[in-house]
């Protein structure tokens, strides 16, 4: 392991430790443990804010523990801790504040592991699919606790459902890449949404209730409000510590990369520049939430952690701002409140479309953000909130639309230029 | 295997065609444990450009990226060509300047594959 990778391990472990300690301090040891246990059985589908259900402390400790599991898997699979794995761990960190639990991620990861074994591939080859695939964790929770089953049968059905889901995810995820050609950063979100359509349809056919509910913490504590700015400052400080002035020149170099999947900024530029990029994205994202008057609760922190995580794997200031502008513009045109759950999450998670802006320019980025907002407000109902990465699902649809049109325009323009039509 | 080869050839062809050559030759040679691709064009490139190609094609092995995202190699029309998608899957790569342009030699294969045992000459 290189010195740089060791540094990243220390940094990510440190952030995980901060989450766990902050959680226990926030809520008290025993109450946090009680809340943590209770969270495992709560509905996890969109949008169940864990900070509202069992307190910020329990949610933070849950986040820390699930992230620690993800970091351990990266180490065990002998995969480099770099752009994609940092993105996966920080995404898991965020979503464990509103949907992922230690209980519901296990069967999905095991299913992906089985898929790798059947395909005679090392688990490392499917590690990213296993980590991001935990977006369908709520399906496991639903089958175990909300499907109306009892006793051992509910546990077995839940585990089996999650394992089967994980088993099929690699094949779906690989196919879905062809549709948007890497212009939707949350490809597994797109894949999970697609799979979720079928899962939700089966559950609905079996007369199971699978409607969308919104549990939203409107009074976040000071710990939650300060968490992302603190983590961002730590990232920027670590980048400067690691690279000094080079951290800023490398940060500027990152802004020139379109960001299309797979763009590992740690590999393509440097860890120090990447850390500065992550930190600035976190600070500016927090600034946006603050300006629009949003709540720094579980889902919003999830969006900010994901924004920061993908600051190592495709997102930067230059390719993100057009998307956020597009979402904001869409809110103004359609009279939506920027601080409402849908719009604020769309602004943060909608940056999944950042590569469109990075590759094709500001106008396409703004247009993509504009379309994304109206799409994402409909798609959650389609999969019953089973896919936590609903913005990834919507983003995949939006990116596919834009890629189809842009590809047609490109070939038509070339044909006309060559005079073949 | 056929699809795998088509992905690789597609991405390499896209890379060469992005430079608008008037000539491009792609040669394939298959053996039991691996295959050799040779790509020739008549595009003059600077030493810096050649070094960039070498770096991209001799990228460190990234199993988590090559198996999952590698499938995108040679599959699309939009955006720039991405040699790193091929580089993660290459066993060994060499890039030379020729009289007319550039020659890229790529060797692919399983764990047992060793390009030095390959039966065709490297140059």
Residue B123, pLDDT score: 47
> How many Å lie between the alpha carbon of A169 and the closest alpha carbon of chain B?
11
Neighbour count for residue A117 (Cβ, 10 Å): 13
Closest CA to A394 of A412, A416, A374, A365: A374
Look up the pTM and report it: 0.94
Contact (CB, 8 A) for B41 and B24: yes
Residue from the list A77, A121, A260 with its beta carbon closest to the beta carbon of B67? A121
Residues of B with CB below 8 A from A122's CB?
63
Contact, A227 vs A305, CB < 8 A? no
pLDDT at site A164: 97
Q: What per-residue confidence (pLDDT) applies to B115?
A: 56
Q: Which bin fits A79, alpha (ψ -120 to 50), beta or left (φ > 0)? A: beta
How far apart CA A304 and CA A296 sit, in angstroms, is 9
- Number of Cβ pairs closer than 8 Å across A and B? 70
Residue B105's H or E segment, with its range, is: strand B102-109
Matching residue, tokens 């509202």: A52
Conformation bin of residue B10: beta by default, left when phi > 0, alpha when psi is -120 to 50: alpha
- Say how many C-beta atoms besides its own lie within 10 A of residue A226's C-beta: 13
On chain A, the residues whose CB falls within 8 A of the CB of B80 are: 258
As a whole number of angstroms, the distance between CA A263 and CA A254 comes to 10
The dihedrals phi and psi of A292, each to the nearest 5 degrees, come to -80, -5
**Cβ separation A261–B72 shorter than 8 A:** yes
Chain B residues within 8 Å of chain A (Cβ atoms) = 59-60, 62-69, 71-72, 75-80, 82
- Cβ proximity of A59 and A8 under 8 Å: no
Residue labelled with tokens 């769309």: A346
List, run by run, the mean pLDDT of 10-residue segments along chain A (421 residues): 93 98 97 97 94 97 98 97 98 98 97 97 97 97 92 95 97 95 96 96 92 93 97 98 95 97 95 98 98 97 98 98 98 97 98 97 98 96 95 97 93 80 50
Considering only CB atoms, B63 lies closest to which of A125, A181, A359, namely A125
In whole angstroms, what is the distance from residue B12 CA to residue B9 CA? Answer: 5
- What sign for the dihedral angle of Cα A205, A187, B64, A19? negative
Facing residue for B69 by CB, picked from A121, A177, A359: A177
Tell me which residue of A294, A290, A304 sits closest to A98, measured CA to CA: A304
The answer to whether the CB of A299 falls within 8 A of the CB of A260 is no
Choose among A244, A225, A254, A399: nearest CA to A315: A254
Q: How far apart are CA A269 and CA A26, in angstroms?
A: 38
The percent of chain A in helix, strand and coil, each rounded to the nearest 5, is: 75, 0, 20
Give B84→chain A minimum CA distance, Å: 9
pLDDT of residue A299: 98
CB contact under 8 A, B63 and A258: no
Query: Shortest CB distance from B72 goes to which of A77, A121, A177?
Result: A177
Alpha-helical runs (H) found in A54-182: 56-76, 83-95, 102-118, 127-132, 137-141, 151-180
Going by the DSSP 8-state scheme, the letter that residue A293 receives in this structure is T
A66-80, A226-240, B37-51, B76-90: the lowest-pLDDT one = B76-90
As a whole number of Å, the CA-based R_g of chain B is 14
8 Å CB contact of B64 and A258: no
Closest Cα in chain A, distance from residue B123 (Å): 30
Higher-confidence residue: B56 or A128?
Answer: A128
Decide the pairing of beta strands B24-30 and B102-109: unpaired
Closest partner CB to A177 (pick from B62, B71, B79): B71
Which of the residue ranges A258-262, A268-272, B39-43, B106-110 would you say has the lowest mean pLDDT?
B106-110
Q: Which of B3, B59, B79 to mutate to test the interface with A (most CBs of A within 10 A)?
A: B79
Residue A47 to residue A373: CA distance in whole angstroms: 17
A174–B71 C-beta distance less than 8 A: yes
Selection from A269, A365, A260, A375 nearest residue A314 by Cα: A260
Per-residue buried b or exposed e for B12-45, using 16+ beta carbons within 10 Å of the residue's own CB: bbbbbeebebeebeeeeeeeeebbbbbbbbbbeb
Contact (CB, 8 A) for A27 and A53: no
Judge: B64–A264 Cβ closer than 8 Å, yes or no.
Answer: no
Is the Cβ pair A124, B76 closer than 8 Å?
Answer: no
């Amino acid at each position: 392991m290189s010195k740089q990778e060791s540094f990243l391990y220390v940094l990510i472990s440190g952030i995980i430790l901060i989450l766990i300690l902050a959680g226990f301090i926030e809520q008290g040891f025993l109450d946090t443990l009680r809340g943590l246990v209770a969270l495992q059985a709560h509905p996890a589908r969109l949008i169940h804010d864990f900070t509202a259900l069992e307190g910020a402390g329990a949610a933070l400790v849950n986040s820390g523990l699930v992230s620690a599991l993800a970091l351990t898997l990266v180490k065990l699979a002998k995969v480099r801790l770099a752009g994609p794995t940092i993105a996966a761990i920080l995404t898991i960190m965020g979503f464990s504040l509103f949907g992922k639990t230690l209980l519901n991620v296990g069967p999905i990861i095991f299913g992906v592991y089985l898929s790798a074994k059947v395909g005679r591939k090392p688990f490392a080859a499917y590690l990213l699919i296993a980590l991001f695939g935990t977006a369908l964790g709520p399906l496991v929770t639903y089958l175990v606790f909300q499907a109306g089953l009892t006793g051992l049968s509910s546990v077995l059905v839940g585990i089996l459902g999650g394992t089967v889901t994980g088993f099929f995810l690699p094949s779906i995820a690989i196919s879905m890449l062809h549709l948007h050609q890497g212009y939707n950063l949350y490809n597994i979100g797109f894949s999970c949404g697609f799979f979720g359509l079928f899962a939700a349809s089966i559950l609905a056919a079996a007369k199971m209730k699978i409607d969308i509910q919104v549990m939203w913490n409107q009074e976040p504590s000071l710990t939650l409000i300060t968490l992302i700015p603190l983590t961002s400052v730590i990232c920027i400080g670590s980048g400067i510590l690691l690279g000094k002035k080079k951290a800023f020149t490398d940060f500027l170099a990152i802004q020139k990369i379109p960001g299309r999947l797979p763009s590992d900024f740690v590999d393509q530029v440097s860890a120090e520049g990447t850390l500065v990029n992550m930190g600035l994205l976190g600070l500016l994202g927090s600034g946006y939430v603050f300006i629009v008057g949003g709540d720094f609760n579980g889902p919003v922190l999830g969006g900010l952690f994901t924004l920061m995580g993908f600051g190592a794997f495709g997102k930067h200031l230059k390719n993100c701002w057009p998307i956020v502008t597009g979402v904001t513009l869409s809110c103004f045109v359609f009279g939506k409140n920027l601080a409402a759950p849908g719009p604020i999450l769309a602004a943060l998670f909608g940056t999944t479309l950042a590569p469109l802006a990075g590759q094709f320019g500001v106008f396409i980025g703004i247009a993509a953000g504009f379309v994304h907002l109206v799409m994402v407000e409909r798609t959650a109902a389609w999969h019953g909130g089973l896919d936590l990465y609903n913005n990834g699902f919507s983003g995949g649809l939006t990116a596919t639309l834009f890629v189809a049109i842009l590809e047609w325009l490109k070939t038509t323009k070339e044909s006309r230029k060559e005079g073949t039509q | 295997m056929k699809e795998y080869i088509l992905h690789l050839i597609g991405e390499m062809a896209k890379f060469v065609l992005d430079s608008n050559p008037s000539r491009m030759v792609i040669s394939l040679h298959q053996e039991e444990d691996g295959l050799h691709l040779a790509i020739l064009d008549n595009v003059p490139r600077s030493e810096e450009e050649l070094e960039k190609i070498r770096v991209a094609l001799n990228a460190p092995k990234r199993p988590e990226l090559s198996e999952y995202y590698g499938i995108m190699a040679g599959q699309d029309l939009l955006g720039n060509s991405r040699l790193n998608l091929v580089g993660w899957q290459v066993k060994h790569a060499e890039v030379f300047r020729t009289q007319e342009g550039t020659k890229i030699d790529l060797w692919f294969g399983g764990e047992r594959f060793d390009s030095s045992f390959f039966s065709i000459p490297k140059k």
